[in-house]
A and B are shown apart, each in its own frame.
Chain A
Amino acid sequence: MSTGPVLDIRELTTRFDTRRGPVTAVDRFSLNLGSGETLGLVGESGCGKSVTALSVMRLLPRPAGRIAGGRILFKGKDLASLPESRMRRIRGNEISMIFQEPMTSLNPVYTVGFQIVEALRRHRRMHRRAAREEAARMLSLVGIPEPGARLNDYPHQLSGGMRQRVMIAMALSCRPAVMIADEPTTALDVTIQAQILDLMNRLKAEIGMAVMLITHDLGVVAETCQRVAVMYTGRIVEAADVRTLFRRPAHPYTVGLFQSLPQIGGRQGRLKPIPGAVPSLLRLPPGCAFQERCFRSDGQCRQDPPWTAVGPEHWARCWHPMEVST
């Protein structure tokens, strides 16, 4: 399927300077994204998914946030050290991003058409007329009826679902190689969610891009992704293809995630929330960050657990992964 990764993140570390000290929101994060692949990045709220995405885009809130280490290789360039002016030519052009909040992500004082045309003119050096035609084409591509008329609409005249379609149209207008979608459906109601996910699946094939889909919803992952990585307190704790992860999760945290969900992957039984709470990033225990909540932890877990191959293309960061051999 792939001809080598289009995005190769190696040991990415992102820190925030806060009043209570430095916080490592993303910790030695390594992951690659094959071209044309959809990869799911899952984990509870606050585990560092958005910060990972913003690091790749180099859109971390300044001055608090900064990439403190690692490399982000895209088409042979390291985005982590690219000058801002060159990064600007990549953003919205070769890598684009859509956000969780369709209601607030579009500028209220400009028409939808203006905001799409702006991206096209910036990166494609298109003339106004041509850019408007292209913008209308994008709107029809994302399933917005009467695209020519909608170009003149202001964001507040559109529903949340429609706005997210506009965001997608805008993000895809320059045919990026990679799209990062940060919880694109979380703020939408269920029927609209399904429509947007369908749309993203279709467009991904049409444009031939790779997608990094960030979500805390394993159901969304099951429907859209080929591979999935699970994050906990800034680190990837497990990675596998979707079928493997859903059938035989190896990391105790992933197991806990499934047990706390109703009927994912046909798994029946009582809901069992993971005991305890996610520890503060300011006070992580030495070794495995999950140890205080883990049903398999022992003294060894106070050492940093190794990134262990537990099956073909299946890894877990754990001293005592679940038995996954077939």
Chain B
Amino acid sequence: MPLGYIAKRLLQLVAILFGVSVVVFLMLRMIPGDPAQLLLGEFANPEELARLRTQLGLDRSLPLQYGIYLQNLLQGDLGNSIRTNTPVAAEIWGRLLATLELSLAAMFISTLVGVGAGVVSAVRPHSAWDYGAMFFALVGVSMPIFWLGLMLIYLFAVKYPVLPMMGRLPMGLEVPAVTGLVMVDALLAGQPVALWEAGRHLLLPALTLATIPMAVVARITRSAMLEVLNKDYVRTARAKGLSEAAVILRHALRNAFLPVVTVLGLNLGLLLGGAVLTETIFSWPGLGRYVVDSLMGRDYAAVQGCILVFAAMMAVINLAVDLIYVLLDPRIRVNE
């Protein structure tokens, strides 16, 4: 992989994050009225307001204010929450990992099932399997997440109570936090019971979050595979005497991945939006729920921090998608 390209993309990433920080900074200043008042609420007394103004640097020029803000930001200081008066950065970090665990699980499920269903559909087009899978995919993309989550809870936690419906672990069970991903931490700590429980807790929310991307992936994989299976190089692979599995998995699917990755990248925003809803439904202590709670509580520092982190996440994921794309397609590698 070309280092120049990666360096260029990393610089772009820095530029984007810089831009986002400006926007987030200005957001609070642009709101009509006094930010200190906004932050402290209408019943704050004048001394408190004055202290906060100096603390926020509101008595200085805008560029200087931004300088201070940026300096704090670079030190990992996102300000304090007005609800808990604790540093927002620490709150966000823990929740970010919860969201990450949920999203990774959803990504894993949706890619595995989506690609698998798409490939089988493309290899046996117009078969009963194909029609069935594509029907479910159609239903899947148009499924309201909220409704789906509630239905899953009703079915698997209420009517047939086989799975937990909220949280990451049962009450009283804890694993030492190393990575912040509970399943990984349970594995690291050698606690099979915790691993099992964490997996059970993850299953319903991950399924809920995975459904739409799974349906999208299945449909794209099918159409990409149908196209690729007609390519000359697939015929060449068969003419070599390769087994059908090698032809389909090694030669066709590898090429069909390109459009799948592209569309997945484009749909990441949807996935994040879905995470907000899913976390709310399943009381998953992640960023999505945190941002909702912060908005409700007018916790501006927290909201600002979340926006920044969401933007950074989108940028990093987009970068990752592009790099995967470069890895998958040698033609891009050289052109850049």
Contacts and interface: CB of A to CB of B under 8 A. Distances in A.
A190 interface: no
B240 A109 contact: no
Interface string B232-268: 1101111111110000000100110000000000000
A101 B232 contact: yes
Contact of A109 (B236, B241, B329): B329
B238 A156 contact: no
Interface string A148-179: 00000010110000000001001100000000
Nearest to A94: B241
B236 A93 contact: no
B32 interface: no
Contact of B334 (A91, A104, A157): A157
Nearest to B329: A109
Contact of A107 (B236, B239, B328, B334): B236
A118 B334 contact: no
Given A108-B331, A156-B334, A88 B241 contact: yes
B231 interface: yes
A68 B242 CA distance: 25
The range of chain A's interface size is: 20 to 34
A170 B241 contact: no
B4 interface: no
Contacts of A157: 334
A59 B247 CA distance: 13
Contacts of B255: 107-109
B241 A92 contact: yes
* Interface hub of A107, A157, A170, A171 (most chain B Cβ within 10 A): A107
A89 B241 CA distance: 6
Interface string A115-134: 00011001100000000000
A92 B241 CA distance: 5
B239 A96 contact: yes
A107 B233 CA distance: 5
A119 B233 contact: no
Given A59-B235, A104-B231, A108-B233, A119 B240 contact: yes
B241 A107 contact: no
The range of chain B's interface size is: 20 to 34
B232 A104 contact: yes
A157 B331 CA distance: 9
B46 interface: no
B95 to A, nearest CB: 39
Nearest to B328: A109
B239 A104 contact: no
Interface string A57-100: 10100000000000000000000000000001111110011010
Nearest to A116: B240
Contacts of B254: 107, 109-110
B330 interface: yes
Given A99-B232, A109-B255, A170 B240 contact: yes
Contacts of B235: 59, 99, 105
A106 interface: yes
B233 A104 contact: yes
Given A104-B232, A109-B255, A91 B240 contact: yes
A92 B239 CA distance: 6
Contacts of A107: 233, 236-237, 251, 254-255
Nearest to A101: B232
A154 B242 contact: no
B112 to A, nearest CB: 21
A118 B239 contact: no
A172 to B, nearest CB: 12
Nearest to B233: A107
A89 B328 CA distance: 30
15 contacts: A57-B239, A88-B243, A91-B239, A91-B241, A92-B239, A92-B242, A105-B232, A107-B236, A108-B330, A110-B254, A111-B330, A122-B242, A123-B241, A156-B334, A170-B236
Given A59-B239, A107-B251, A108-B233, 13 more contacts: A101-B232, A104-B232, A105-B235, A106-B236, A107-B233, A107-B254, A107-B255, A108-B329, A111-B330, A122-B242, A154-B334, A170-B236, A171-B239
Interface of A: 57, 59, 88-93, 96-97, 99, 101, 104-111, 118-119, 122-123, 154, 156-157, 167, 170-171
